[in-house]
Amino acid sequence: MIAKGKVTVDLEKDRPATLSAYLQRNAQIFGDMVAMRQKDYGVWHEYSWKQCNEMSKHFGLGLLSLGLNRGDKVCLLGDNEVETYWAVYGLYGVGAVVVGIWVDALPDEAVYYLTDSESRFIIVRDQEQVDKMLRVKDKIPLIDKVIWWEPKGMAAPMYKNNPWLIGFNDVLDLGIKYDRENPGAFEECIRQVKPEDIANMYYTAGTTGAAKGVVRSHSTQVFLRKIIDRYYPLVPGDDCHTMVQFASIGEPLTGSTANLISGAVLNFPESPDTTEMDVREIAPHFHCLTPRFYEEIASKMRVRIEASGFLKRTVFNMMLPIGYKIVEYEIENKEIPPLWKFLRWLAWWTAFRPNLDKCGLLKMKYGCNSGFVLGAHTFKFYRAIGVDMREFYASTEVPLIATHWRGHEIKIGSLGQIVSDVELRMSNEGELWIRGPHRFNEYYRKPEKTAAAIDANGWYHSGDAGYIDDEGYVFYIDRVTQLAELNNGNKYSPQAVEAQIRFGAYIKDCWILGEGREYVAGLITIDFDSVSKWAEKYHVPFTTMIDLSQKDQVAELVLKDIKRVNKGLPPWARIKKFAVFHKEFDPDEAELTRSRKLRREYMYSKYKDMADGLYSDEDIIQISAEFSYADGSKDTVTAKVKIRTIPET
Amino acid sequence: MMQPCGVRNTGYAQQLSIVRTPLQWVYLIAALILAFCLPLFASSYFMTFMVYLGITIISALGLMLLSGYCGQFSMGHAAFMMVGAFTTANLNASGINFFIALILGGIVAAAVGVVFGLPSGKVKDFYLILSTLAAQFIITYVIVGWFKGDVGVHIPAVKVGNWTLAHAEGYWYLVLVVLILMTFFAKSITRTKVGRAFIAVRDNDIAAEAMGINTYGYKLLAFAVGCFYAGVAGGLWAGFINFATVDHYSLFDSIWYLAIVFVGGVGTITGVFFGSIFIRGLKEIAYVVSPLIGNLLPPSNPFAEGITLSLPYFLFGIILAVFIIFEPRGLAHRWELLKASGRLWPWGYW
Amino acid sequence: MIAVQKETRVKVEKIRLSFGGVTVLIDIELEIKDNEIYAIIGPNGSGKTSLLNCISGFYKPQQGAIYYKGKNLVGMRPHKIAGLGIGRTFQNLELFTGLSTLDNLRAARHLFIKSGLFSGALYFGPAHHEEIKHMRVVEEIIDFLEIEPIRNRAVGDLPYGLRKRVELGRALALEPDVLLVDEPMAGMNLEEKEDLTRFLLDIYEGTEFGYDSEFLKKGVKSIVLVEHDMGVVMDIAERITVFDFGRKIAEGTPDEISGDVKVIKAYLGQDI
């Protein structure tokens, strides 16, 4: 019997200090309310807090009877289902550490995680994962048992008769027996778990050397929830959809802490193929996704609306500008006049609400974007159609640094303002340093790396370059290692700026210069097709690409995009001079790699005159370049490229 | 069927239910209240129309089950209504309570239906239609010859307790109650094993046999059920006009009923309602309009008199042809498309 | 190892089938035993599908008998034979194209639903309970065949490979003791063939746990496979029969058949 009640939780008052204690608290105060839902065999199966507590208890005790000790690490490798969370909560309860591994990890990667974390057990989902483990069994001698929970295919004798493998239900049976013989054991274990005990370990991607295990204790996880709760409060009964695996820091942001501490309900779809349909039935209240997902959903919306009949399309396209106008009011922090309030209401009921209903985003209180900065266009689109979209700055080491505090206080391009309890400062090199109670503890068994990352005063050196403007908004530039340096020591990110400029509809490519110079300059190449069409439309006569590129009107077009990008850059990193190049960058000329990455050294040497010219007082630079035809014959091209200075605003 | 965002089924009962969300319940209850309150504000003429409509729907439900769901096309449906009418009348005349006579009329009609459905074991489609066509004529002949069909049988006014249902307003409640019950039974049948067996027999009788469905048995069952509905409808009609006569159950009426099934949408219960309202409404309009058109022409014009008589049939033929060409799946399908399009708003597809 | 004598499920005795002047099956005799996958191969037109049609009751042989569970199937109506426990898939996929996957499978549960016309008409009560119970069984089949994403889509809209799986599900829903599978690999690419073969083996072996339904756990212990794809046949069949022009020309294990001169001449030719 699942009770449908409304219980309010005062997060300040009923505040245990460890995740395991929260499980107990919830079983008491929420009791028969729904904790988790799993879609199986076409219908949603609901599990109450009491039931989940029982499952977790028996799983934890079962592992104890298999020889697990407090502080042991247990790896988790599988898609999220109810069993995942029962296992995790059981592990929290007996004081073990949960180490998540990505589902698509190769066997050797898995071996690294298992051995580096010194895990004693591993929990996998199904036959495929079990096979993966069996293949590398001799490389992981520390692993006592492999626990699986999806029974399909596991009836074969090779699995049944293998003592290394044990099924989830068998572990539960062991736990039930242990509970009978030692009543109150689980509660005692929970009492013994201290806030400084480690709860989870997350492996960060190893771009420099091997992956590092980020250690987080119960207290850091609990603090994490407390901080998130200020900006994204959830009430008991709110629905979450957690596809994020325990290998990612995204999981405690959206899953286990929301469930344990805020009482939100976790919902699990039936299978990866039915996820879209199931998410619509779940109607989650909170989503934290990456830009790729948001862009996919946005384009799905647009495509389907475009494909609809005249009436539907027209209504939506009429309402969309109303949404954008409201967004403008929000950005400028102005009061919305009554007429627009009415129009917003109209647009919501005729167009935006049914649209969100189709995607399953109808009940979403807040949409968070994490990972990379979401393109301004997409960000505005979501806010226009009624989604409270916010930027989110977090890393595995410090899982919430800045975010948009309130839905309507948005600065496009920024990551929001620093959250409470977090201190953020910029180092002399432009690196962002962060300090906060939810900062990670250490890198597992890597004291030198830990010392390099966390300094004596507790500041975490993030490796990110960014800046904070006077209103406290945080802007992200690039990874520190990717930065280039002007001659006055200021850092800037060529790739980030180039990427931003490339968004422009008329711009094909861009080369940002500035290394060792006084200011940043840019060399832009235009997209001949779109610019020529524009020129035809606006009656700008031209002959060749060279001719077109040097037109002043074309330079004005390009200047618009440069100004757009400059607005989001710190003052020293703004582009001061630019030129529209007379030709496109060509991989055949060795200017780009085959994957279209700029070959900067070569470009500097080939176009030294151009580069120097951008830092001189000249207005026009004559370029002579030799280029080869496809058949090997060579020719020389001369062009006069105009240098343009961007007026100070 | 697409439910609003956030509607979840936690059990199969919910998944199978027809009325799923509170809003859908509101629609249903509002419709029922409207139906029961109709006599309070509608004219007598309108109520008479509604009584005929209700009886038509009951009969058409039967034909939908037989022809729409089971695929056994019957061109003798009106004749089975006749059987019901005469049985009810004769039994009532010999003293049996009207309601019991009504049910017995349905049962006798069902039995006669099974007899004429026997060829369905050997013949299909076109040939089966001929056999049911034979039913139309044979039954008429038998009733005229042995049951005073040409003269007619009188039925006294129907009484429920002390209340005499003499006028359309009163009789409407009887028809409404029977209609609600029969619709519920029909919809339930289509949702369960028997209904699925009917559809299986219609769509692919090889597969049906391979699934263990006794196709011949179910064809006969379909005749029984369909003709039961026809018999009850016939009895109700006789009770309303207080007379059972062969005039109202001609071949053309059989064809009207087939048209209802076809225009409404083969294989749907909502199609019965759409089709009946459409065809009955069309008839009414035609009967009202044709004299007017006839009067427009000068009396000497040879078409003038003919138009009044033949316009309904002319319109009927054109409508049927239009539906065959443009919407062979009937009004119910159009309605489903409209509903789906509305549910998908503002998307074009999912 | 002691060879266990396997029980005979279906015994085909001297079947002779003709249509007009054409004799399609001549003196066919074979036995389908318990606990085996039994394959029938042969060139097109050799009478394989006709034999399946005789066993499942769609054709009536002029001579001969087919014994199953002590009864002679010759002359019985197909639905009665299905009721006795012989399930069948069709090469041309006999599905209800207008209905969804779910409805197709629910229709196949016909024999197991007890409520008839009257309890059906009343719906609430025994009919409702049975609908729920059998919905669960059908959902387990859907889970077993991994066709959850298409459960509500009309079968007519599905790609060929998925329709084949629904066909298999339809036959499975009958809880058959003997399953006749007619050319399941026709029109499949390599990946689809592997998938379908795995499902056939899963159906044969059963899953032992994970489902409530007994028949999914136990598995279908006699499968008759009519197939052209030699790779699949050699892989999974325990015994093979070879037909040619309506006669049985060879029978044995895959090794015996691949070495049999008659068979090679008639059929396998240069394929091996």
Residue ranges per structural domain of chain C: 8-95+160-271
Encode pLDDT of A205-250 as tens digits.
765 667 888 999 999 899 888 888 888 888 888 999 888 889 888 8
Q: Which of C53, C59, C77, C79 to mutate to test the interface with B (most CBs of B within 10 A)?
A: C79
Q: Do C139 and A152 touch (CB under 8 A)?
A: no
How far apart are the CA of B99 and the nearest CA of chain C, in angstroms? 19
Q: Tell whether A499 and A475 lie within a shared domain.
A: no
Q: Is residue B343 in a domain?
A: no
Which chain C residue has the Cα nearest residue B202? C96
Helix (H/G/I), strand (E/B), else coil: C184: coil
What is the C-alpha separation between A106 and C257, in angstroms, rounded? 42
Percent of all residues in chain A with a pLDDT value above 90, rounded to a whole number: 33
Q: Is pLDDT of B170 > 90?
A: no
Going by pLDDT thresholds of 50, 70 and 90, the confidence category of residue A477 is confident
Residues A506 and A468 in one domain: no
* B207–C106 CB contact, under 8 Å: no
Q: Are residues A345 and A447 in the same domain?
A: no
Asked whether the beta carbons of C104 and C170 are under 8 A apart, the reply is yes
Contact (CB, 8 A) for A76 and A113 = no
Domain coverage including residue A598: 484-645
CA C225 – CA C37 distance, rounded (Å): 7
Distance (Å) from the C-alpha of residue A40 to the closest C-alpha of chain C?
9
Judge whether residue A48 has pLDDT over 60.
yes
Least confident range from A252-256, A426-430, B255-259: namely A426-430
- Indicate the residue of A154, A155, A273 with minimum beta-carbon distance to C148: A273
Residues A149 and A59 in one domain: yes
Given an 8 Å threshold on Cβ–Cβ distance, is A152 in contact with C151? Answer: no
Nearest-CA distance A356 → chain C (Å):
22
Identify which of B6, B10, B345 has the shortest CB distance to residue A354.
Answer: B345
Q: Return the higher-pLDDT residue of A593 and A85.
A: A85
Residue of higher predicted confidence among A397 and B263: B263
Q: Find all residues with CB under 8 Å of C265, minimum gap 6, and list them.
A: none
Smallest Cβ distance to C210: which of A152, A273, A274?
A152
Task: Give the total number of structural domains in chain A.
Answer: 4
Summary count for chain A: helices (H), strands (E): 24, 28
Q: Which residues in chain B are closer than 8 Å to C103, comparing Cβ atoms?
A: 196
Domain of residue A493, CATH code: 3.30.300.30
The verdict on residue A122 lying in a domain is yes
Give me the percent of chain B exceeding a pLDDT of 70: 98
Question: Which subunits sit against B, judged by 3+ Cβ pairs under 8 A?
Answer: A, C
- Please give the mean pLDDT across all residues of chain B: 89
Measured between beta carbons, the chain A residues lying within 8 angstroms of B4 are 357
User: Per-residue pLDDT tens for A364-377?
Assistant: 998 888 777 777 77
Here the tokens at position A383 are 């806010």
pLDDT (0 to 100) of residue A594:
65
Give the mean pLDDT of B60-68: 95
Q: How far apart are CA A40 and CA A271, in angstroms?
A: 9
Q: Judge residue B88's burial from the number of C-beta atoms within 10 Å of its C-beta, 0-12 exposed, 13-18 middle, 19 or more buried.
A: buried
Tell me the C-alpha to C-alpha distance, in Å, between residue B50 and each of A141, B56, B64, B280, C150.
83, 10, 20, 10, 43
Tokens of B147: 């049951």
Is the CB of residue A158 less than 8 Å away from at least one CB of chain C? no
Mutate to test the interface with C, among A44, A149, A152 (most CBs of C within 10 A): A152
| Low-confidence winner among B176-190, C136-150, C255-269 (lowest mean pLDDT) | C255-269
The residue that leads in pLDDT, A567 or A408, is A567
What is the pLDDT, as a whole number, of residue C272?
A: 46
> With 90 as the cut, is the pLDDT of residue A488 above it?
no
Pair type for strands A165-167 and A198-204: unpaired
State whether A557 and A468 are in the same domain: no
Q: Are residues A328 and A202 in the same domain?
A: no
B286 within domain boundaries: no
Determine whether the interchain pair C103/B196 forms a contact, defined as Cβ–Cβ distance below 8 Å.
yes
Phi, psi of B346 (to 5 degrees): -90, 20
Q: Rounded CA gap, B153 and B191, in Å? A: 39
Chain B residues interacting with chain A (CB cutoff of 8 angstroms) = 3-12, 14-15, 341, 344-350
**Hey, is the C-beta of A170 within 8 angstroms of any chain C C-beta?**
no
- C-alpha to C-alpha distance for A48 and B321, rounded to whole angstroms: 59
Interface test with A, best of C148, C152, C165, C198 (most A CBs within 10 A): C148
- Which of C110, C113, C121 faces B189 most closely, judged by CB atoms? C121
Do residue C121 and residue B185 have CB atoms under 8 angstroms apart?
yes
Q: Which residues on B lie below 8 Å from C115 (Cβ)?
A: 192-193
Is there a single domain that holds both residue A252 and residue A103?
A: yes
**A281 and chain C: CB distance < 8 Å anywhere?**
no
Number of residues assigned to chain C = 272
Asked if B346 lies within 8 A of A354 by C-beta distance, the reply is: yes
Q: Identify whether residues A468 and A536 lie together within a single domain.
A: no
Rounded to the nearest integer, the mean pLDDT of chain A is 86
**Residue A423 CB-half CA count within 13 A:** 10
Task: Kindly determine whether residue C58 and residue B206, on different chains, have CB atoms separated by under 8 Å.
Answer: yes
A280 touches chain B (CB under 8 A): yes
Cβ <8 Å between C209 and A277: no
Indicate the residue among A465, A482, A499 that finishes a domain.
Answer: A482
Grade residue C25 by pLDDT with cuts at 50, 70 and 90: very high
State whether C207 and A270 contact (CB < 8 Å): no
Q: To probe the interface with C, which of B70, B188, B211, B350 has the most C CB atoms within 10 Å?
A: B211
Closest residue, chain A, to C142 (C-alpha): A41
Residue A642 pairs in a beta bridge with A620
Is residue B26 in some structural domain?
no
- B204:C131 CB<8 A: no
Pinpoint the alpha helices (H) of chain B: 12-16, 22-41, 44-63, 77-93, 98-117, 125-146, 168-191, 193-203, 205-210, 215-241, 251-264, 270-296, 303-326, 330-343
Q: Give whole-number Cα distances, A637 to A265, A528, A625, B14, in Å.
A: 67, 18, 5, 75
Q: What is the tens place of the pLDDT at every residue in B239-253? A: 998 888 888 899 989
Residue of A nearest to C218 (CA): A155
Identify whether residues A98 and A108 lie together within a single domain: yes
pLDDT of residue A630: 67
What Cα–Cα distance (Å) separates residue B346 from each residue in A176, A317, A358, A360, A361? 53, 10, 9, 14, 14
Q: Is the pLDDT of residue B108 over 60?
A: yes
Q: Which residues of B touch A265 (CB under 8 A)?
A: none
Of B8, B12, B347, the CB nearest to A308: B347
Question: Would B74 be classed as within a structural domain?
Answer: yes
Contact C149 A274 (CB under 8 A): yes
Nearest to B5 among A44, A307, A357 (CB): A357
Contact A355 B349 (CB under 8 A): no
Q: Which domain holds residue B107?
A: 45-249
Alpha-carbon span C251 to C60, nearest angstrom:
24
Q: Is B11 in Cβ contact with A315 (below 8 Å)?
A: no
Nearest CA in chain B to C139: B12
Average pLDDT of the residues in B200-204: 92
Over range A525-551, report the average pLDDT. Answer: 87
**Mean pLDDT of the C190-197 span:** 91
pTM of the model: 0.83
Mean pLDDT throughout A156-185? 92
pLDDT digits (tens, 9 = 90+) for C85-123: 999 999 989 899 889 999 999 999 999 999 889 998 999
Interchain contact, C120 vs B192, CB within 8 Å: yes
Q: Is A277 on the interface with C (CB under 8 A)?
A: yes
Count of domains observed in chain B: 1
Report the CATH fold assignment for C8-95+160-271: Rossmann fold (3.40.50)
A81-85, A478-482, B38-42 — which is least confidently predicted? Answer: A478-482
Last residue of a domain, one of A393, A425, A457: A393
Once rounded to an integer, what is the mean pLDDT over residues A135-157?
89
- Asked if the C-beta of C148 comes within 8 angstroms of chain A's C-beta atoms, the answer is yes
Facing residue for C139 by CB, picked from A41, A151, A274: A41
Nearest to B349 among A45, A280, A307 (CB): A307
How far, in Å, CA of C166 to CA of B14, rounded? Answer: 24
Alpha-carbon distance C88 to nearest alpha carbon in chain B (angstroms): 7
pLDDT of residue C37: 94
Class of residue B255 by CB neighbours under 10 A (exposed 0-12, middle 13-18, buried 19+): middle
CA distance B35 to A621: 87
pLDDT for the residue numbered A537: 84
| pLDDT tens sequence across B53-63 | 999 999 999 99
Asked if residue A344 and residue A332 are part of one domain, the reply reads yes
pLDDT number for residue A8: 58
Percent of chain C with pLDDT over 90: 66
- Amino acid A16: pLDDT: 84
